[in-house]
Amino acid sequence: MTIEEAAAALANRSVSSVELTRACLDRIERRNPELNAFLTVTAEAALEQAEEMDREIAGGGQRGPLHGIPIAHKDNVSTRDVRTTSGSKIFADDVPRVDAEIVWRLEHAGAVMLGKTGMHELAYGITSMNPHYGPVRNPHDPARIAGGSSGGSAAAVADGMCFLATGTDTGGSLRIPASFCGVVGVKPTYGLVSRDGIQPLGLTLDHVGPLAATVRDATIALSWMAGREIDIEHQPSLAGLIIGVPENFFFDGVDPEVSHAVKHAAEACIHAGVHIEHVIVPDMDLLNAVSRTILLAEAAAIFEPWAGQRADFGDDVLALLDQGRMLPATAYVNAQRLRRELIGAFRGLLETVDFLLTPATPTPAPLIEAAGDIRLLATRLVRGMNVIGFPALAMPCGKTQSGLSIGLQLIAAPWRDAELLNAAAALEDALS
Amino acid sequence: MTDSDVVEQLRAELARAAAELPPDAPMAVDLDLPRIEEEAE
């Protein structure tokens, strides 16, 4: 059941928020021991909140489409009186006194919080194989990773434990788990959604967004998270749009099944009236080097106060923090100068096409034992968009022969989030 | 590859690319300073 369907059922009283919440809690109880998608479940508070939402509906009031809908927050999002670990040992006992802005916005929308989802340690990685809290497993094949860093959020949505979950994205952390788990992850334009109350990682790279089962559900969530009206038209259309499909970089070394599925989506666009333009994208290897440099430096600065507690970090995160401390300041300055040039180059490209269509990840979800060193591979198609701040989303576009999810990425010019989501909704319709 | 190899590789790649920039190419940093009169309001 989607958020749209649940909202309609709540409005006509064919289901209650308590029933939806109980169903999600039952699912969590049954499935979480294997998947480890939730770190903390706030069952009692969720049921109390759901009862209150039902009383409001019975009294004739419905706040909007999220009223009474069970959701979850990534564990780097501050939740008042609920432990918020950021998947780390250093924050293992952190209980915030106030909510992050997106938490109160979604609570104001009437959403019912079920708990907090697992993640890669400090959001600094993409496997969600967490050394302190255990690995998050992929619901479609628990022998595989869910992706990350918002792995618990993606797995929880994909498995039906909740209707929507929040996440963060510094180098692909919404889009990678969305691709691996077969859900929709939206990284909006930099600054569209408040980062207030969220543990930072890359000060100039961090984005906040939703993970949901469909583009329409993700749009509802993003609209409330941003506090802006973002709507999908009654019948969104792709007709007349120009979509750029990169000739360079984005399909290099990509798994053939992924490549085929994304090209099939491009063909579906053509049938829906899109003009596909084959384009050359700016230097993506340089953009990725800029991304790595800025993130190494910014993350090392953020976690400098804990630099002496080496035993409290997992090996992969510690190595990245060490590299960040070694990086000369000249490299950071050069990265920020090159960043400005690359933003201009991408802006120029997106003046010639409406959107770019690419794979989201070069492969489907890898097996846990093979996922030790896939960070650079898994982030190579997505992390550049964090450098330039343009909106980008990942959505499902098929499955491999063995049933693994394949995700595509759609990218737009800054502040064209609504247009991006409408095009994605139309593409979702075309692919269904 | 050691941590210092990773760092040196990144540093060298960015230094090469940045050498192609005009000498006064600015950083992507927006100070967003309000005018003093605006702040007073």
SS3 at position A166: strand
Alpha-carbon distance B39 to nearest alpha carbon in chain A (angstroms): 22
Tokens 């308590």 correspond to A18
Q: pLDDT tens digits, residue range A139-171?
A: 999 999 999 999 999 999 999 999 999 999 999
SS3 at position A184: strand
- Tokens representing A272? 């829906």
Q: pLDDT tens digits, residue range A230-284?
A: 999 999 999 999 999 999 999 999 999 999 999 999 999 999 999 999 999 999 9
Confidence of residue B40 (pLDDT cuts 50, 70, 90): low
Q: Residue B31 pLDDT more than 90?
A: no
Task: Give the domain range for residue A362.
Answer: 1-432
Question: Is the CB of B14 less than 8 angstroms away from the CB of A290?
Answer: yes
Provide the pLDDT for residue B39. Answer: 63
**What are the CA-CA distances from residue A130 to residues A143, A149, A290, A358 (Å)?**
15, 10, 26, 29
Residue B35, classified by CB atoms within 10 Å of its CB into exposed (0-12), middle (13-18) or buried (19+), is exposed
Q: How far apart are CA A337 and CA A65, in angstroms?
A: 43
Tokens 């980008």 correspond to A392
> How many domains does the structure of chain A reveal?
1
- Tokens representing B25? 């190419």
pTM over 0.90: yes
Instruction: Please say if A179 is a catalytic residue.
Output: no
Task: Please give, one letter per residue, the 3-state secondary structure of A320-354.
Answer: HHHHHHHCCHHHHHHHHHHHHHHHHHHHHHCCCCC
Residue A144: beta bridge partners? Answer: A367
Contact A424, A357 (CB under 8 A): no
**What are the CA-CA distances from residue A73 to residues A80, A253, A319, B35 (Å)?**
12, 34, 28, 38
Q: Residue A369 pLDDT more than 70?
A: yes
Instruction: Please say if A78 is a catalytic residue.
Output: no
Residue A323 is nearest to which of B6, B17, B25, comparing CB atoms? B6
Q: How many A/B residue pairs have CB atoms within 8 Å?
A: 62
Question: Is the CB of A289 less than 8 angstroms away from the CB of B27?
Answer: no
Q: Residue A49 pLDDT more than 90?
A: yes
Q: Residue A173 pLDDT more than 80?
A: yes
Provide the pLDDT for residue A26. Answer: 98
Instruction: Please say if A263 is a catalytic residue.
Output: no
Contact A207, A172 (CB under 8 A): no
As a whole number, mean pLDDT of residues A18-33 equals 98
Provide the pLDDT for residue B36. Answer: 81
Question: Is the CB of B14 less than 8 angstroms away from the CB of A331?
Answer: yes
Residues in chain B: 41
SS3 at position B19: coil
Q: What is the dihedral of CA A44, A50, A51, A55, to 10 degrees?
A: 160
Percentage of chain A lying above the pLDDT 70 cut: 100
Confidence of residue B34 (pLDDT cuts 50, 70, 90): confident
Provide the pLDDT for residue A392. Answer: 98
Percentage of chain A lying above the pLDDT 90 cut: 98
Closest CA to A106 of A55, A159, A163: A163
Give the amino acid at A37: A
Question: Is the CB of A326 less than 8 angstroms away from the CB of B13?
Answer: no
Q: Residue A416 pLDDT more than 90?
A: yes
Q: Residue B37 pLDDT more than 90?
A: no
Q: How far apart are CA A269 and CA A237, in angstroms?
A: 10
As a whole number, mean pLDDT of residues A363-390 equals 94
Instruction: Tally Cβ neighbours within 10 Å of residue B18.
Output: 18
Residue A334 is nearest to which of B4, B6, B18, comparing CB atoms? B18
Q: Characterize the bridge pairing of strands A242-246 and A355-359.
A: parallel
Q: Which helix (DSSP H) or strand (DSSP E) does residue A181 occupy?
A: helix A175-181
Q: How far apart are CA A97 and CA A83, in angstroms?
A: 10
Q: Average pLDDT of chain A?
A: 97
- B residues 1-40 lying closer than 8 A (beta carbon) to A: 3-4, 6-7, 10-11, 13-15, 17-18, 21, 25-29
Tokens 């050691």 correspond to B2
- DSSP states of A268-318 as a string? HHHHTTPEEEEE----HHHHHHHHHHHHHHHHHHHTGGGTT-GGGS-HHHH
Of the candidates A149, A153, A223, A291, the residue annotated as catalytic is A149
CATH number for the domain spanning A76: value is 3.90.1300.10
Q: Is A113 left (phi over 0), alpha (psi -120 to 50) or beta?
A: beta
Q: pLDDT tens digits, residue range A339-366?
A: 999 999 999 999 999 999 999 999 999 9
Q: How far apart are CA A77 and CA A61, in angstroms?
A: 28
Q: pLDDT tens digits, residue range A94-136?
A: 999 999 999 999 999 999 999 999 999 999 999 999 999 999 9
